[in-house]
Amino acid sequence: MKLNDFFAEYPDIAIAFSGGTDSSYLLYAAVKAGANVRPYYVKSAFQPVFELEDAERLCRELGVSMRVIECDVLEDPVVRSNPADRCYYCKRRLFGLLTKTAAEDGYRVLADGTNASDLAGDRPGMKALEEMKVLSPLRMCGLTKDMIRQASRNAGLFTWNKPAYACLATRIPTGVSITRDTLEKIEAGEQALFDMGFSDFRIRVFHDAARIQIPENQMPRVLAMRATIRERLKPFFPVVLLDLEERPGMALPQDPGEKEQHHESE
Protein backbone atom coordinates (compact mmCIF):
# COMPACT_ATOMS: atom_id res chain seq x y z
CA MET A 1 0.00 0.00 0.00
CA LYS A 2 1.14 3.54 -0.79
CA LEU A 3 0.27 6.55 1.33
CA ASN A 4 -1.89 7.94 -1.47
CA ASP A 5 -3.86 4.68 -1.41
CA PHE A 6 -4.29 4.98 2.33
CA PHE A 7 -5.65 8.52 2.11
CA ALA A 8 -7.92 7.50 -0.75
CA GLU A 9 -9.40 4.90 1.59
CA TYR A 10 -9.47 7.31 4.56
CA PRO A 11 -10.04 10.79 3.07
CA ASP A 12 -11.21 12.31 6.38
CA ILE A 13 -8.65 11.75 9.08
CA ALA A 14 -7.29 13.17 12.32
CA ILE A 15 -3.58 12.89 13.12
CA ALA A 16 -1.97 12.73 16.55
CA PHE A 17 0.67 15.32 15.76
CA SER A 18 3.91 16.19 17.55
CA GLY A 19 5.86 18.21 15.01
CA GLY A 20 8.51 15.50 14.84
CA THR A 21 9.91 13.83 11.74
CA ASP A 22 7.36 11.04 11.44
CA SER A 23 4.07 12.77 12.15
CA SER A 24 5.24 15.82 10.15
CA TYR A 25 5.79 13.71 7.06
CA LEU A 26 2.46 11.96 7.61
CA LEU A 27 0.70 15.33 7.77
CA TYR A 28 2.55 16.53 4.67
CA ALA A 29 1.55 13.38 2.76
CA ALA A 30 -2.08 13.82 3.79
CA VAL A 31 -2.12 17.43 2.60
CA LYS A 32 -0.40 16.49 -0.66
CA ALA A 33 -2.93 13.70 -1.23
CA GLY A 34 -5.78 16.17 -0.82
CA ALA A 35 -7.18 14.54 2.31
CA ASN A 36 -9.42 16.37 4.75
CA VAL A 37 -6.91 16.21 7.58
CA ARG A 38 -6.74 17.82 11.01
CA PRO A 39 -3.66 17.59 13.24
CA TYR A 40 -4.13 17.45 17.02
CA TYR A 41 -1.36 18.26 19.46
CA VAL A 42 -1.69 17.14 23.08
CA LYS A 43 -0.04 19.62 25.40
CA SER A 44 1.04 18.03 28.66
CA ALA A 45 3.79 18.16 31.27
CA PHE A 46 5.57 15.40 29.35
CA GLN A 47 6.30 17.59 26.31
CA PRO A 48 8.82 20.47 26.23
CA VAL A 49 7.78 23.86 24.88
CA PHE A 50 9.92 23.61 21.75
CA GLU A 51 7.90 20.61 20.54
CA LEU A 52 4.74 22.72 20.39
CA GLU A 53 6.65 25.52 18.65
CA ASP A 54 7.91 23.08 15.99
CA ALA A 55 4.41 21.67 15.51
CA GLU A 56 2.96 25.16 15.05
CA ARG A 57 5.70 26.08 12.59
CA LEU A 58 5.16 22.99 10.44
CA CYS A 59 1.41 23.57 10.32
CA ARG A 60 1.93 27.18 9.26
CA GLU A 61 4.24 26.07 6.48
CA LEU A 62 1.69 23.51 5.28
CA GLY A 63 -1.25 25.88 5.66
CA VAL A 64 -3.05 23.55 8.08
CA SER A 65 -5.02 24.45 11.18
CA MET A 66 -3.84 22.53 14.25
CA ARG A 67 -5.91 22.03 17.37
CA VAL A 68 -4.07 21.99 20.71
CA ILE A 69 -5.56 19.88 23.49
CA GLU A 70 -4.42 20.27 27.06
CA CYS A 71 -4.25 17.22 29.30
CA ASP A 72 -2.96 16.86 32.85
CA VAL A 73 -1.44 13.38 32.61
CA LEU A 74 -0.26 13.58 36.22
CA GLU A 75 -3.88 13.46 37.39
CA ASP A 76 -3.73 9.73 36.70
CA PRO A 77 -2.24 8.06 39.81
CA VAL A 78 -0.97 5.09 37.81
CA VAL A 79 0.89 7.30 35.33
CA ARG A 80 2.23 9.36 38.21
CA SER A 81 3.54 6.25 40.00
CA ASN A 82 5.60 5.44 36.87
CA PRO A 83 5.31 1.63 36.59
CA ALA A 84 7.07 -0.32 33.84
CA ASP A 85 3.91 -0.18 31.72
CA ARG A 86 3.27 3.51 32.41
CA CYS A 87 3.04 4.25 28.70
CA TYR A 88 0.05 1.97 28.31
CA TYR A 89 -1.99 4.01 30.78
CA CYS A 90 -0.64 7.29 29.48
CA LYS A 91 -1.56 6.49 25.88
CA ARG A 92 -4.99 5.24 26.91
CA ARG A 93 -5.62 8.57 28.61
CA LEU A 94 -4.17 10.80 25.90
CA PHE A 95 -5.50 8.95 22.88
CA GLY A 96 -8.87 8.60 24.57
CA LEU A 97 -8.99 12.39 24.76
CA LEU A 98 -7.73 12.70 21.18
CA THR A 99 -10.35 10.27 19.86
CA LYS A 100 -13.16 12.05 21.72
CA THR A 101 -12.08 15.52 20.57
CA ALA A 102 -11.55 14.46 16.96
CA ALA A 103 -14.97 12.77 16.89
CA GLU A 104 -16.56 15.99 18.13
CA ASP A 105 -14.93 17.72 15.16
CA GLY A 106 -16.33 15.10 12.79
CA TYR A 107 -13.28 12.85 12.41
CA ARG A 108 -13.93 9.16 13.05
CA VAL A 109 -10.46 7.90 12.12
CA LEU A 110 -7.33 8.74 14.11
CA ALA A 111 -3.78 8.06 12.90
CA ASP A 112 -0.37 8.36 14.51
CA GLY A 113 3.23 8.54 13.29
CA THR A 114 4.46 5.05 14.17
CA ASN A 115 6.72 3.86 11.33
CA ALA A 116 7.94 0.51 10.03
CA SER A 117 11.15 0.78 12.05
CA ASP A 118 9.18 0.80 15.29
CA LEU A 119 8.99 -2.85 16.26
CA ALA A 120 6.10 -3.61 18.60
CA GLY A 121 7.80 -6.21 20.81
CA ASP A 122 7.00 -5.65 24.46
CA ARG A 123 5.71 -2.11 24.01
CA PRO A 124 2.76 -1.30 26.30
CA GLY A 125 2.11 1.98 24.49
CA MET A 126 1.70 0.34 21.10
CA LYS A 127 -0.60 -2.23 22.67
CA ALA A 128 -2.83 0.61 23.82
CA LEU A 129 -2.96 2.09 20.31
CA GLU A 130 -3.94 -1.27 18.85
CA GLU A 131 -6.72 -1.65 21.41
CA MET A 132 -8.00 1.84 20.57
CA LYS A 133 -7.96 1.17 16.80
CA VAL A 134 -5.49 3.96 16.08
CA LEU A 135 -4.09 3.55 12.55
CA SER A 136 -0.38 3.89 11.73
CA PRO A 137 -0.20 4.66 7.98
CA LEU A 138 3.60 4.94 7.83
CA ARG A 139 3.96 1.50 9.31
CA MET A 140 1.13 0.08 7.19
CA CYS A 141 2.89 1.37 4.07
CA GLY A 142 6.27 -0.06 5.09
CA LEU A 143 8.00 3.31 5.51
CA THR A 144 11.10 3.08 7.70
CA LYS A 145 12.71 5.92 9.61
CA ASP A 146 15.44 6.37 7.01
CA MET A 147 12.90 6.42 4.19
CA ILE A 148 10.82 9.03 6.01
CA ARG A 149 13.83 11.26 6.64
CA GLN A 150 14.84 11.10 2.98
CA ALA A 151 11.30 11.75 1.75
CA SER A 152 10.98 14.64 4.21
CA ARG A 153 14.24 16.12 2.98
CA ASN A 154 13.07 15.85 -0.61
CA ALA A 155 9.84 17.59 0.38
CA GLY A 156 11.74 20.45 2.02
CA LEU A 157 10.41 19.80 5.52
CA PHE A 158 12.60 21.32 8.24
CA THR A 159 11.85 18.27 10.39
CA TRP A 160 13.70 15.88 8.09
CA ASN A 161 16.76 15.65 10.36
CA LYS A 162 15.14 16.49 13.68
CA PRO A 163 16.67 14.32 16.42
CA ALA A 164 14.49 11.80 18.22
CA TYR A 165 13.06 13.28 21.38
CA ALA A 166 11.16 10.98 23.70
CA CYS A 167 8.78 12.41 26.27
CA LEU A 168 10.27 13.85 29.45
CA ALA A 169 8.83 11.06 31.59
CA THR A 170 11.33 8.63 30.05
CA ARG A 171 14.13 10.49 31.85
CA ILE A 172 12.85 9.28 35.23
CA PRO A 173 13.65 5.70 36.35
CA THR A 174 10.79 3.22 36.42
CA GLY A 175 9.17 3.08 39.84
CA VAL A 176 10.19 6.61 40.80
CA SER A 177 7.15 8.86 41.07
CA ILE A 178 6.84 11.54 38.42
CA THR A 179 6.34 15.09 39.66
CA ARG A 180 5.79 18.29 37.74
CA ASP A 181 8.77 19.83 39.50
CA THR A 182 11.12 17.08 38.29
CA LEU A 183 9.82 17.34 34.72
CA GLU A 184 10.33 21.11 34.74
CA LYS A 185 13.91 20.70 35.98
CA ILE A 186 14.67 18.17 33.25
CA GLU A 187 13.21 20.42 30.57
CA ALA A 188 15.13 23.46 31.85
CA GLY A 189 18.37 21.49 32.09
CA GLU A 190 18.05 20.08 28.58
CA GLN A 191 17.16 23.50 27.19
CA ALA A 192 20.35 24.86 28.77
CA LEU A 193 22.37 22.21 26.94
CA PHE A 194 20.53 22.93 23.68
CA ASP A 195 21.37 26.62 24.09
CA MET A 196 25.03 25.68 24.48
CA GLY A 197 24.95 23.94 21.10
CA PHE A 198 24.69 20.29 22.16
CA SER A 199 22.27 17.88 20.46
CA ASP A 200 20.99 14.31 20.56
CA PHE A 201 21.47 14.04 24.31
CA ARG A 202 19.41 13.14 27.37
CA ILE A 203 19.42 14.24 30.99
CA ARG A 204 18.48 11.20 33.07
CA VAL A 205 17.49 11.62 36.69
CA PHE A 206 19.67 9.61 39.06
CA HIS A 207 18.41 10.20 42.58
CA ASP A 208 18.76 14.01 42.78
CA ALA A 209 21.51 14.17 40.17
CA ALA A 210 21.44 14.87 36.44
CA ARG A 211 23.11 12.08 34.46
CA ILE A 212 24.02 13.40 31.03
CA GLN A 213 24.02 10.96 28.10
CA ILE A 214 25.55 12.41 24.96
CA PRO A 215 26.91 11.07 21.65
CA GLU A 216 30.59 10.14 21.68
CA ASN A 217 31.53 12.79 19.13
CA GLN A 218 30.36 15.54 21.50
CA MET A 219 32.14 14.14 24.56
CA PRO A 220 35.36 16.21 24.15
CA ARG A 221 33.35 19.43 24.06
CA VAL A 222 31.38 18.39 27.14
CA LEU A 223 34.61 17.79 29.03
CA ALA A 224 36.07 21.08 27.87
CA MET A 225 32.94 22.94 28.99
CA ARG A 226 32.29 20.97 32.16
CA ALA A 227 32.60 24.00 34.45
CA THR A 228 30.12 25.99 32.37
CA ILE A 229 27.73 23.04 32.14
CA ARG A 230 27.87 22.55 35.88
CA GLU A 231 27.11 26.23 36.43
CA ARG A 232 24.18 26.22 33.99
CA LEU A 233 22.62 23.09 35.48
CA LYS A 234 23.23 23.95 39.12
CA PRO A 235 19.88 25.77 39.54
CA PHE A 236 18.09 22.54 38.64
CA PHE A 237 20.33 19.72 39.89
CA PRO A 238 22.75 19.77 42.86
CA VAL A 239 24.94 17.12 41.22
CA VAL A 240 25.76 16.68 37.52
CA LEU A 241 27.15 13.35 36.27
CA LEU A 242 28.46 12.33 32.85
CA ASP A 243 27.60 8.89 31.47
CA LEU A 244 30.81 7.54 29.89
CA GLU A 245 29.13 4.78 27.88
CA GLU A 246 29.87 5.08 24.16
CA ARG A 247 26.76 6.41 22.43
CA PRO A 248 27.01 7.05 18.68
CA GLY A 249 23.79 9.06 18.74
CA MET A 250 20.30 9.17 20.16
CA ALA A 251 18.43 8.15 17.02
CA LEU A 252 17.63 4.90 18.81
CA PRO A 253 16.30 4.72 22.37
CA GLN A 254 18.99 4.34 25.00
CA ASP A 255 16.70 3.03 27.71
CA PRO A 256 14.05 0.31 27.28
CA GLY A 257 10.70 1.73 26.30
CA GLU A 258 11.96 5.24 25.65
CA LYS A 259 9.87 5.57 22.53
CA GLU A 260 6.75 4.84 24.54
CA GLN A 261 5.15 8.24 24.45
CA HIS A 262 1.78 9.76 23.65
CA HIS A 263 2.72 10.48 20.04
CA GLU A 264 6.06 10.21 18.42
CA SER A 265 8.45 13.13 18.70
CA GLU A 266 10.75 12.07 15.96
Low-confidence residues in the chain, pLDDT < 70: 119-122, 248-266
Residues 137, 68 within the same domain: yes
Q: What is the pTM of this model?
A: 0.88
pLDDT score recorded for residue 115: 92
Residues 122, 197 within the same domain: no
pLDDT score recorded for residue 248: 66
Residues 183, 144 within the same domain: no
CATH code for position 140: 3.40.50.620
| Mean pLDDT over the full length of the chain | 90
Is 242 strand, coil or helix? strand
> Does residue 200 lie within any of the structural domains?
yes
Residue finishing a domain among 161, 178, 204:
161
Q: What values do phi and psi take at 31, rounded to 5? A: -65, -45
Residues 130, 180 within the same domain: no
Residues 176, 99 within the same domain: no
Residues 40, 142 within the same domain: yes
Alpha helices in 156-253 (DSSP H): 180-195, 219-224, 226-233
- Residues with Cβ within 8 Å of 60's Cβ and at least 6 positions away in sequence, in order, are none
pLDDT score recorded for residue 253: 43
Residues 228, 156 within the same domain: no
> Does residue 109 lie within any of the structural domains?
yes
Domain tally, the chain? 2
Residue finishing a domain among 144, 161, 178:
161
Residues 139, 196 within the same domain: no
pLDDT score recorded for residue 122: 57
**Alpha-carbon gap, residue 117 to 132, rounded angstroms:** 21
> Is 70 in contact with 43 (CB distance < 8 Å)?
yes
Residues 55, 23 within the same domain: yes
Is 87 strand, coil or helix? helix
Residues 46, 136 within the same domain: yes
pLDDT score recorded for residue 258: 52
Q: What values do phi and psi take at 28, rounded to 5? A: -55, -45
The beta strand positions in 27-118, using DSSP E, are 36-43, 67-70, 110-111
Residue span of the structural domain in which 54 resides: 3-161
> Does residue 69 lie within any of the structural domains?
yes
Residues 131, 189 within the same domain: no
CATH code for position 222: 3.30.70
> Does residue 257 lie within any of the structural domains?
no
Most distant CA atoms of the chain, gap in Å: 57
- Cα-only R_g, the chain: 18
pLDDT score recorded for residue 266: 36
Residues 130, 226 within the same domain: no
